[in-house]
Structure 1
């Protein structure tokens, strides 16, 4: 029992660090460990993963708010798209062939890898959007943050607001229809489509993930999928890991964060495409 608690706490710390840095939650670590290494039923693994997302979001958001790194206006605006998409997706679930959807969304993630690679040569200054989007200006979505690596204030503008919102609608649809997390889509929407720098994109995604996960956690709680003896140690470890991860992320060059994010994006995209063709990995 003690060994299990220590293992869960350790996994939680790793997932918290990883999730806080990339803004995608720790489910990509937690679910395989719980199912493959510990032999846990998938429904309990998913329930624990939902709690882990909330814990990662809580731990990271506090630090990012304190450092003025996340963009609250962008988070709330895009969360509207995610929520609407998730509701519509839940209603339409079963009406579309999920294999086609897996292939479609997986292909988009793989395409996003190419966009990420193209941005590898840029610095924080290069990541700033160059166009003045009238919608972003009207909604006051543009922001500013202090880059601790370059030791200077970075002002950035947000581009392609309708495109980012449409991406969040699609991410919500994917979540509602396929039951998958949308953290990777959130970062992609802000970084690739809306041209936000990677640091505030990751920080803002952490906040949004918590809002989305909190909405679905109640459902998992009442159907018995959340086990306190599993989710508890994980959550404690994740809170510690997320606090550490927020400090690491702000000291990492944007190129290093992308180097970590690109293989994750490629793996998740390939996994979705293969699942669409009936291959599970």
Structure 2
């Protein structure tokens, strides 16, 4: 049986974090979607310590990748701040509840969330909206609509936000899940904005990347106060995710929307199967 030395372990964490940062920035997941399963399934880290380290990854991903996306006009900032009210409150509630939730339930909840997200994205076969957008008085009053350079040659494409109140309610739930699982709420943010609220996929991914840092920071503070953020785990992960998130932010404006969607789905399905086996077994 191979013995993993501390140096090898730290290098492995940095590499894993780089991959997590790349995927997190590319599809708006926040990196936790990779970090938590690897730490729990491969390195057998307690899931609550893995969640604490993952929340640090989420904050680093958002701070690094989202800043570039904002400068490129990919983020709907008004919409992000509006939805972040609900996700942040949900994250605080989720962090406070985390001690009372059984470990097996966390694995099963993780798998269920991923399966839902994968199915939701499969049902949406195209990044283009066919039907007419619905009127939304709240979105009109708060000027949540926007435009982003997602057309051919970077042409600005406008989008109208709809169902803003329902989206706010669902984002509260996404915040709770984020704090419980350390996945940055991106697995719910992106499908909600993409399918429910009429936001194009690339804009939804970029806006989610901007939001998840605020959400994760709220719950990370509670995990830190409990001693559930281990610097030996969180430090290398934070370092590795910087490079991956930066690369992901650069690629997002160049990658075809269909490729982004299928990367998103593939990651969700693989991780869901692993977490389901862990929860059942």
How would you bin the TM-score normalised by the shorter chain? 0.7 to 0.9
Question: How far apart, CA to CA, are the structure 1 residues paired with 2:186 and 2:122?
Answer: 19
Contact residue 127 and residue 197 of structure 1 kept, 8 A? no
Distance in 2, matches of 1:122 and 1:34, equals 33
Deviation at 1:52, TM superposition (A): 0.6
Which residue does the alignment assign to 1:64? 69
Distance 1:248 1:129, change over 3 A: farther
Are residue 134 (structure 1) and residue 142 (structure 2) matched?
A: no
Hey, what does 2:206 align to over in structure 1? 203
Deviation at 1:221, TM superposition (A): 2.1
- Work out the CA distance in 2 between the residues paired with 1:60 and 1:156: 22
Query: Given that residues 88 and 175 in structure 2 are in contact (C-alpha distance below 8 angstroms), is that contact kept between their aligned partners in structure 1?
Result: yes
Is the counterpart of residue 36 in structure 1 residue 51 in structure 2? no
Unaligned runs of 5+ in 1: none
* Superposition pairs of residues 1-281 of structure 1, within 5 angstroms: 1-87=6-92, 110=115, 113-123=118-128, 126=129, 130-147=133-150, 150-175=153-178, 178-179=180-181, 181=183, 182-266=185-269, 279-280=279-280
Cα distance in 1, alignment partners of residues 125 and 51 from structure 2: 33
Tell me: CA distance 1:228–1:92, structure 2 relative to 1, closer, same or farther (3 Å). Answer: closer
Q: Partners of 2:167 and 2:265 in 1: how far apart?
A: 20
Deviations 1:159-199 (A, max 9, x none): 111221121122234456x5553221111211111010011
Deviation at 1:44, TM superposition (A): 3.0
After TM superposition, give the deviation of residue 268 of structure 1 in Å. Answer: 6.3
Cα deviations across residues 219-250 of structure 1 (Å, max 9, x unaligned)? Answer: 22232222323222211110111000011111
- Tell me, yes or no, if the aligned pair for 1:129 and 1:159 is still in contact at 8 Å: no
Deviation at 1:129, TM superposition (A): 6.2
CA distance in structure 2 between the partners assigned to 1:98 and 1:45 by the alignment: 12
Contact 1:26–1:53 at 8 Å: present in 2 too?
yes
TM-score of the aligned structures, taking structure 2 as reference length: 0.82
Q: Cα 1:205–1:34, aligned 2, differ >3 Å: closer, same or farther?
A: same
Q: Is the 8 A contact 1:56 1:242 kept in 2?
A: yes
Deviations 1:243-266, CA, capped at 9 Å, x for gaps: 000111111111111111223445
Question: Aligned partners of 1:27, 1:208: CA distance in 2, in Å?
Answer: 14
Aligned residues: 275
Give TM-score, length-normalised by structure 1. Answer: 0.82
- The residue aligned with 2:3 is none
| Aligned-residue CA RMSD (Å) | 3.3
Aligned pair in 2 of structure 1 residues 93, 3: CA closer, same or farther (>3 Å)?
closer
